[in-house]
Structure formats: C-alpha cells, structure tokens
Structure 1
Amino acid sequence: MVPVLAPTGGAGRSTLACLLAAELAAAGETVVLDTAPRLASPWPGWITAPGGGGLAGLPPSEPASAEQVRSACAPMDGWEVLTDPREWNAPPLDLPLEPAAWYQLAAIGGWQAAVVDTPHPVTHDLLAARCAGVPGQTRGWLSLPYSVPVLCAAASAEGVQALQQAVMAMAAENLPLHRVVAVLVATGDGRLPSVVRAAATMLSARTADVLHLPYDANLRASGLRTGRVHSRTRQAAARIASAVLGAAHESWGAPLPSAPQPAVLRPPVSPVPA
C-alpha cells in the first residue's frame, strides 16, 4: 500500500500517484485508488480508455467479488485506476473514510501494489484526531499491512515548512517515519532554493528518503492525459518508486511476505422453523 499524502493542497499528490503507479507496474500488478470526491478529483479526466462502472458499481452494503472489483476499474498504460468516472452532475457517492475499507478493495482485486491518492491534509488530520481522541485517517493509512507512505510537498519555502510541520506531527504521534518517503515537487525550473535544500538535508535524517520531482513544462501545459512526460520526470519517478520498494524491503524483507487477506463475508443463516 502506497498512500500519497500531503500537508496542504496543490502539492502534486495526483500527479505523483500517477507517475508512481506507472513505475510500480513494472514490479507487479498495480492499481490507483482514488479516494477524493468526484468533483475534487482529476482522475476521471485522465482516463484514457473506457472502463467499468467505477466506484458507483460497487455497492458498499454488498460483498464484491474479484471480478466485480476488477471490472469496475479503468485501464491505464499497464495499470488500472479505480475512480468515479460518471458525469459531473451525478449524485455524489458516499465514499468510505476508513483506510481499511480501501485496503479490502485492493485485497479483493488481488493487485500487488495499490497507490492511494488521498485528499485530506495530513497535519490537520493528525491534530484533529488527537483532539477528538480518535485514530484518524493518516494513522489508519500508515497502520495498513505493508504500507509505505509517500509524503509530498511543493519545493518552496512554504512547502517545506508545511512538510516539516507534518513530519513533526507524525513524530509526536509515534508514526513510522522510518518508512516514509518524502518528495519535494518543483514548481519551476532551476536549482532548488537553499532553504529547500537545507530542509531536505534535515528531513533525510528522519525519513526513509527525501527525493526531488523536477518541474515538467509538458505536464504543466497539457496535463497527464495528453502531455508528454519528460525523460527526467520518468527518471525521478523511477527513483521514487525504487525508494518505496527499498523502504518496504528494509522493513519486511525481500521478497515481501504475503499480505493479510480480509475475512470472507458469509451470508447470514436463516433460522430453521420449529
């Protein structure tokens, strides 16, 4: 499980999730789970081929088979995405908040890697969960079996400040920073600002790795659906995927053990009449 997290919006979560899925697909069957509400997500516009019914075809109150889950996905270039591809005016879905529900979907589908595009701000979630006395979504994502979180932020003074606050909040909650991969997403060409380089050096001592995703004018101009990804962007994505797999192997060994499977739901037994 590779939840892509960020302390603020506009950090490049969806773009990074897409690039990661393309790289991880070389190591095993991969899916992107889009957990954002329909009108707040770019994924429906990125689908390149007709797919299944999406999340709307998986009623939350009924058990689903592997075939149903797989058929609900839209095919991408060597991997799949599970999103809500309906028209903009369709009624909103009541998507589950619990990370365990999304893990169950990935387990039923039988993928070897699941990249999760999450919409919630990490630092706010951790603070709100602590004040409410509940686990919270961020802790839920990090507690899933074989979870290697990718924490991204804009490569700017404000972005690294938000990233540092998120790392401090995660450390205060005793979350496993040793398998968190931090990614600084460039917002323009040129060398990273000195404050960003200094922050990256400090963060590297607390996380599994700190990497840089360069600015890609092609993606900025045309988007992921029609834009041509620059070779240096692909190379950076490959390094990030390698860091994710490296953190997983460092934590649980190589090859990875089989992940736990959710229990099978059995139909209720009707009482036998006397």
Structure 2
Amino acid sequence: MIAATGGSGRSTVADLLAGHLAAAGASTVVLDTAPRLSSPWPSWTAGQYAGGLGALPPDRPLTRSQVQRAAALRPGADRPGWQVLTDGRDWHSPPLALPHAPAAWLQLAAIGGWQCVVADTPHPVAHDILESRCAGRTGRTRAWCELPYAVPVLCASATASGIQALQQAVMAMHADGMPLQRTVAVLVGQADGRLPAAVRAGATMLSARTAAVVHLPHDPHIRAHGLRTVSRLRPRTRHAAALLGQEVLAAAGASWGTPLPDAPRPAPLAVVSHS
C-alpha cells in the first residue's frame, strides 16, 4: 500500500482491502510500517493487549506463536477477523527502530504464517524513486514491488491535486521500470457527488497504464469515526472494497497464474547443541 503524498487514505484502503481478503477465506495481516505516533493503527486496535511489534525482539529467533500473539485482531461485524502487526504501546514509549528493508517485513509475515499480507507503507513514492535513482541505490518502493507476488496499490485523494500527485508517481514508476501492469490505483473520495472533471480525465489516462483504477467513494462514517467499527459503512463503500480486492487478485492472477504458487518461506534455523 503506497502513496505519493500524505492524506491519501492509504490506511483506510489497507483496512478495507484486508477485510475483503479475509472474507474471501485467506488468513490476512496488515503490517503497519509507520512510526507509532503518525499511524492510525494503534488507536484502531486499542485495548486488545496484544504484544505488538515491541514484543518481537529483532536480534533473536522468533516462533510462529510469538508473532501471532503479537498481532492484534481486527474484528468485523459481518466478516471474518484478521490481524494487524503494529506498535500498540503507550504514546510516551521510546520509538521502535523499525526495519526499512521490505524483505524483513516479508520474513516476519512468513514466520507468522499468513496467506495474504497488506503492507501499509508511509514513504512518498515519487520522492523515494527520484532520491534512490540520484543516489544510485535501490529504493524502498522498488524493494516492496519486487517482493514475491507483490501487487502495488497506489492511493491518492480524488481531487485535482491528488490526481496530479498520482500521475507524477505513475510517471516516476514508469520511468524507473516499475511493474505498473500489476499496480492498482485507488482514488479516495473526499466528498459526495460526482468526481471532478480533472479526476475523471486523470483516471481515464491512468487506466491505460495500470492494471485497474478503483474509486473508493466518500463515506461520512469513516470521516467522523475512522475505522474503529465497520458495521455502519455504506453499501457502496463495501462494494468498492470488494471491487478493489477483486482487482488486486486479478492482477496477481494475470501475473503469476491461478492459483498462485507458494511464496518462499524463511529457512528454519539449525538446532544448536550446547552439550
């Protein structure tokens, strides 16, 4: 889950996509890669007393049960629950040194045993691509896109400035050879009513370069209450979430076939004898 700028509805889209994947029968987790005090996930999963990312020591081997216990549950009124790995500690706790390498997050999810992983990433995509190109190194956007069976979901607000930022991000991804043929763009509505003309025109242009463009309509419940509950979401919001999930799965199937091959698993650690 990536975006060109902040305020794009990225975490909301991640939540809705994870709910659809879980409803389709896949064990699902959201990886919250943002610093705690800039992320909505700790408040959306508050009160569960899950260990969170702070309970997973980065310098010691982890077991599946450890990782599963650290993940909070996102229950739904009409959908199966799914899990979130976030930093749920008190706000005044010292910041965690979260890994930058996407491969580290993939390994963590693989240890946990989930079938579908939704990574909520806070870095600005176009800036990251340009910065890494100028520095002559692999950027985070490319590293996320090159993970096994990764389908990039690029979010933007459905406004004139949002579609402009999205178009710039797509141009940067195209210039850098990113996999736009399996990238799904999501336009997040900021108000009721028809999309502005500039947004409709931009969406038409982007649909020729990406796997799909999905419109997530404005939902007053999300605006007022966030995603602490899902029972009051509008039917059209649920429909858009289902369409997004279908497009993500279709992009994966078009790229790697159906059913998807098994993803690589971390190699087990050798048993060390202390005798």
The residue number in structure 2 matching 1:114 is 117
Instruction: List alignment gaps of at least 5 residues for structure 2.
Output: 76-80
Q: 1:111 to 1:118 in 2, by over 3 A?
A: same
The residue number in structure 2 matching 1:223 is 226
The residue number in structure 2 matching 1:242 is 246
2:185 to 165, 169, 182: 182
Distance 1:128 1:38 in 2: 25
2:162 to 159, 162, 166: 159
Give the superposition deviation at 1:266. 3.4
SS across alignment from 2:122: strand
TM-score, L = length of structure 1: 0.95
Q: Is residue 140 from structure 1 mapped to residue 179 from structure 2 by the alignment? A: no
- Letter aligned with residue 244 of structure 1: V
Instruction: List alignment gaps of at least 5 residues for structure 1.
Output: none
1:42 to 35, 40, 43: 40
The residue number in structure 2 matching 1:73 is 71
Give the superposition deviation at 1:26. 1.9
The residue number in structure 1 matching 2:12 is 15
SS across alignment from 1:210: strand
The residue number in structure 1 matching 2:217 is 214
Q: Deviations over 1:133-153 (max 9, x none)?
A: 110100010000000010010
Structure 1: 4+ residue segments shifted above 3 A: 265-270
How many equivalent pairs are there?
Answer: 268
Distance 1:112 1:51 in 2: 24
SS across alignment from 1:120: coil
Q: Deviations over 1:31-77 (max 9, x none)?
A: 00000001011101001651421000101111111111101001112
8 Å contact from structure 2 (residues 46, 88) kept in 1: no
Give the superposition deviation at 1:161. 0.5
Give the superposition deviation at 1:226. 4.1
8 Å contact from structure 1 (residues 8, 153) kept in 2: yes
Identity of aligned residues (%): 62
What is the correspondence of 1:255-266 to structure 2 with a 5 Å cutoff? 255-266=259-270
- Letter aligned with residue 21 of structure 1: A
The residue number in structure 1 matching 2:100 is 97
The residue number in structure 2 matching 1:32 is 30
SS across alignment from 1:25: helix
- Letter aligned with residue 59 of structure 1: P
Give the superposition deviation at 1:269. 7.7
The residue number in structure 2 matching 1:88 is 91
SS across alignment from 1:62: coil
Aligned-residue RMSD, C-alpha? 1.4
Q: 1:54 to 1:198 in 2, by over 3 A?
A: same
- Letter aligned with residue 5 of structure 2: T
The residue number in structure 2 matching 1:170 is 173
The residue number in structure 2 matching 1:203 is 206
Q: 1:167 to 1:86 in 2, by over 3 A?
A: same
